[in-house]
Amino acid sequence: MAPLITVENLAKEFRRPKRHTGTFGGIRTMFTRQYTVSRAVRDVTFEVAEGELVGYLGPNGAGKSTTIKMLTGILVPTSGTVEVAGTVPWRDRERNARNIGVVFGQRSQLWWDLPLRESLRLIGKMYDFSREKYHANVERFTELLDMAEFLDTPVRQLSLGQRMRGDLAAAMIYEPRVIYLDEPTVGLDVVAKERIRAFIEEENRDRGTTVILTTHDLDDVERLCRRIILIDHGTVLYDGDHAALRARYAPYRELVVTLADGATADIDLPGVEVTAAAAGSATLRFDPDRMSAADLIGAVLARHRVSDVAIVEPDLEGVIREIYAARSVRA
């Protein structure tokens, strides 16, 4: 089956007039002919099939938001092609808009002074959505997101968690084929985050809605995304699933050893890297393919007086940190 989203050699350059400083800097800037060029996206290629739930990750300034903006039709690419559900977003903006829903974590799409219910109604009308399906969806989302108690409250008075739920409902009320979520759980408490994640997962699973998730919260990613696309300096660093990511970039496990009577360990074992050492503890990194945890523990116990051990799997955050570190060394 043809992929829903195709991105090929996508690039975006920003030419900004060079800002002059000093006297009359403002006026000189207005008339300048010099430009600074910043290449936010250099060469990005990937495909997304319908129904996937993809995490789109990268450090700040990596080109994440720029890519998403090209996918949603906000920006026009400098070169390369992008197609979503058979439509070129920047060329057929309105047609593309009908297929997508967007949640900007930082700012709301709702009408500030009106009750939430009104915002949903307006959106239903803007998308010419069928009335029966609209009402059915309002009921369904109200229940799923537990919005009954604040559906008639002006959006201005909602808490952050309530507003985020409202924004999510607004983005999906007209059943778009793709939704782009930008930091949907930022600033929320643990319970609220879980509720939102559960909702996203359910919509993806039951309705087959394709989800592109951009977030710095790696718990979101661990919970929801089977596939991760990692971007940095405007190019794709990694595109694949979770496990493979770890296997490729962080093929290790760590053993945290607490030493008896707070001695500083001088642990020197073949195939073992000491990644952290302090008075009374040490973290040993080893390759589970080469050495089993049991063997390592045995070797440590033989040589040192140990009071406690713990095995730590590299979490997604650690993996990604490794990737960024390697990248900046290489770059």
Binding site for another protein (CB under 8 A): 14, 16, 26-27, 29-30, 65, 69, 72-76, 93-95, 97-98, 100, 102, 104-107, 109, 111-114, 118, 122, 125-127, 182
CA distance 127 to 174: 7
What is the number of other CB atoms lying within 10 angstroms of the CB of residue 81?
A: 12
Residue placing its CB nearer to another protein in the complex, 113 or 241: 113
CA distance 260 to 257: 10
Instruction: Give min distance, CB of 80 to another protein, in A.
Output: 17
* Residues with Cβ within 8 Å of residue 327, at least 6 apart in sequence: 232, 233, 237
Place of tokens 């955050």: 317
Residues linked to residue 179 through DSSP beta bridges, in sequence order = 101, 211
Decide: 324 and 285 in contact? Cβ < 8 Å.
no
CA distance 178 to 266: 54
Residue placing its CB nearer to another protein in the complex, 167 or 254: 167
- Provide the edge-to-edge strand list for the sheet that holds 306-312: 272-278, 281-286, 253-259, 306-312
Residue placing its CB nearer to another protein in the complex, 121 or 233: 121
**Beta-strand relationship, 5-17 and 79-84:** antiparallel
Question: Exposure pattern of 281-312 as b/e (b: 16+ CB <10 Å)?
Answer: bbbbbbeeeebeeeebbebbeeeeebeeeeee
Instruction: Give min distance, CB of 160 to another protein, in A.
Output: 16
Residue placing its CB nearer to another protein in the complex, 173 or 259: 173
CA distance 73 to 293: 50
Instruction: Give min distance, CB of 26 to another protein, in A.
Output: 5
Instruction: Give min distance, CB of 53 to another protein, in A.
Output: 20
Instruction: Give min distance, CB of 126 to another protein, in A.
Output: 6
Residue placing its CB nearer to another protein in the complex, 43 or 118: 118
Residue placing its CB nearer to another protein in the complex, 55 or 101: 101
Q: Helix, strand, or coil here: 40?
A: strand
Residue placing its CB nearer to another protein in the complex, 87 or 142: 87
Residue placing its CB nearer to another protein in the complex, 61 or 298: 61
Instruction: Give min distance, CB of 5 to another protein, in A.
Output: 15
What is the number of other CB atoms lying within 10 angstroms of the CB of residue 136?
A: 11
CA distance 100 to 48: 14
DSSP state, 183?
A: S
Instruction: Give min distance, CB of 16 to another protein, in A.
Output: 8
Q: Helix, strand, or coil here: 253?
A: strand
Instruction: Give min distance, CB of 217 to another protein, in A.
Output: 16
